[in-house]
């Protein structure tokens, strides 16, 4: 079985990152700003994400172009390999069997396209794992949750409303929009218009509603924006401006597949619970969190549905009932170390993983540690944290955006520009018998420096403040 032990080298990585040299130059085009090298930045992010799991997570979120996806049709010979696997293990007849009550917006073709967008869903394994079995189990798991999130929930013996006598686990995908909501209603706009990083990255469109849509009932502007970036080559505005696409196109199912593949650190991706790429940390094991369908409930809605106080609550009871019915019908084997329930688990939101060395995080935040050898004591680096920020460790380019504070999420952060190559400072020390200013050096009252052919003297303690643009320095004389 393919297993990685996350963060076994975390402390060493942190030490390397903390001790790594970084060249920081004043920005001649931006008084008070600084330049750092793209090469050094890339080396830093590589060190911080050197655990192999980061590459696996990022790989799971790779996508195909929409042009390729929209050409997918049942039985088409050019369908991607993971789509062909789905057609083999879960053909149209099985889709029909589980969707007698489904809204017409959900179709088998759209289901195949949603899967075709993400090669990792029902993808290949090179280490001997049974890809067909994992694929089938993934689909059945998804349908168990569809039956709860968007299902009919009509009793089998309710002949008037359920004339076919369908099991509740056969009643998935009844709702394409959240009940009580329709297009044109500007609902679920909490937080829209605020001057914060969420609105800078995912700005709400006037008059749009971000209520639940699709198989997973995608809700709120930050989720629409993040999903839009994945679907449309980094463009958050497509779905922010037209959220109805999540109801009326193949995105109604793609949104659920995206959620299935996306880790919400410290919560793992549901796929990696099912295929056992994820290995629960010791703290997770101590909190009752391990393999099995129950952990997928914790990933989705643990704060409301997991823990002993929720043992008999309707939502988790339904999910478990649907999973067990589907698993029995489709002959999904349950391993001895798998639990269908999560009442014995601590919800992820209540699990304190701060300081854990065997847990990986997936979001970047400004590192506020003090670095005595860097201008102003700033780190000029970002660190991994276990909560949502403007910057993801799984999105190429987001580390640079974090360091440059692209979405203005860290107050009082120095102005940073990343350049391909740093140029040496104008002065070659000494000038006029006075050494050139050094951005990393601490200067005390009375210390003199040369800068751009001028001599300056420190008025008090200073570090990283350019002599020609900041208060701690006074001009002494020009040097010809």
Cα–Cα distance for residue pair 224/219, rounded to 1 Å: 7
Closest CA to 170 of 189, 155, 180, 159: 155
Choose the catalytic residue: 25, 105, 149, 457: 149
3-state secondary structure at position 449: strand
* DSSP tag of 298: H
DSSP assignments along 229-285, one per residue: HHHTTT-THHHHH-TTHHHHSTHHHHHHHHHHH--BTTBPPHHHHHSS-S---HHHH
Q: Is the sign of the CA dihedral 426, 430, 436, 438 positive or negative?
A: positive
Angle at Cα 265 formed by Cα 416 and Cα 281, nearest 5°? Answer: 125
For residue 149, indicate whether it is catalytic: yes
- Please give the torsion angle defined by the CA atoms of residues 359, 234, 220 and 263, in that order, rounded to the nearest 10 degrees: -20
DSSP assignments along 175-244, one per residue: -SB-TT--TT-----TTTT-SSHHHHHSPPPTT-----BTTTTB-SHHHHHHHHHHHTTT-THHHHH-TT
At which residue do the structure tokens 């090469």 appear? Answer: 39
3-state secondary structure at position 309: helix
Cα–Cα distance for residue pair 408/390, rounded to 1 Å: 9
The catalytic site residues sit at 149
């Amino acid at each position: 079985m393919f297993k990685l032990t996350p963060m076994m080298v975390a402390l060493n990585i942190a030490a390397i990152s903390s001790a790594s040299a970084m060249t920081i130059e004043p920005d001649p085009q931006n008084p008070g700003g600084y330049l750092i090298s793209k090469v050094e930045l890339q080396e830093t992010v590589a060190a911080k994400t050197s655990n192999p799991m980061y590459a696996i997570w990022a790989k799971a979120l790779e996508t195909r172009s929409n042009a390729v996806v929209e050409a997918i049709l049942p039985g088409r010979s050019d369908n991607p390999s993971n789509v062909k696997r789905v057609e083999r293990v879960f053909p149209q007849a099985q889709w029909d069997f589980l969707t007698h009550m489904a809204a017409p917006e959900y179709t088998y073709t759209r289901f195949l396209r949603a899967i075709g967008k993400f090669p990792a869903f029902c993808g290949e394994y090179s280490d001997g794992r049974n890809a067909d079995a994992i694929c089938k189990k993934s689909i059945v798991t998804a349908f168990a949750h569809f039956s709860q999130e968007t299902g009919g929930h009509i009793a089998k013996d309710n002949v008037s409303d359920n004339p076919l006598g369908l099991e509740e686990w056969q009643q998935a995908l009844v709702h394409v929009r959240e009940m009580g909501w329709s297009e044109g209603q500007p609902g679920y706009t909490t937080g829209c218009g605020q001057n914060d990083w969420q609105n800078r990255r995912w700005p709400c469109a006037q008059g749009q509603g971000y209520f639940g849509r699709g198989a997973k009932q995608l809700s709120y502007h930050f989720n629409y924006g993040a999903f839009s970036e994945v679907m449309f080559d980094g463009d958050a505005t497509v779905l922010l401006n037209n959220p109805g696409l999540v109801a009326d196109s193949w995105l109604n199912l793609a949104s659920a597949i995206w959620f299935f593949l996306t880790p919400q650190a410290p919560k793992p991706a549901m796929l990696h619970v099912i295929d056992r790429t994820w290995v629960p940390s010791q703290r997770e094991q101590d909190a009752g969190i391990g393999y099995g369908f129950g952990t997928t409930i914790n990933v989705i809605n643990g704060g409301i549905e997991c823990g002993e106080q929720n043992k008999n609550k309707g939502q988790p009871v339904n999910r478990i009932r649907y999973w067990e019915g589907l698993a029995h019908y489709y002959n999904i084997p349950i391993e001895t170390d798998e639990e269908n329930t999560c009442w014995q688990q601590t919800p992820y939101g209540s699990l304190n993983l701060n300081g854990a060395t065997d847990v990986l995080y997936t979001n970047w935040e400004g590192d506020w540690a003090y670095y005595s050898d860097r201008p102003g004591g700033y780190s000029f680096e970002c660190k991994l944290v276990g909560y949502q920020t403007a910057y993801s460790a799984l999105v190429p380019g987001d580390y640079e955006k974090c360091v440059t504070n692209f979405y203005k999420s860290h107050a009082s952060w120095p102005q940073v520009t990343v350049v391909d190559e740093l140029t040496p400072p104008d002065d070659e020390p000494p000038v006029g018998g006075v050494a050139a200013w050094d951005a990393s050096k601490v200067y005390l009252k009375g210390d003199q420096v040369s800068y751009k052919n001028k001599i300056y003297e420190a008025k008090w303690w200073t570090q990283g403040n350019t002599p020609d643009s900041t208060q701690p320095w006074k001009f002494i004389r020009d040097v010809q």
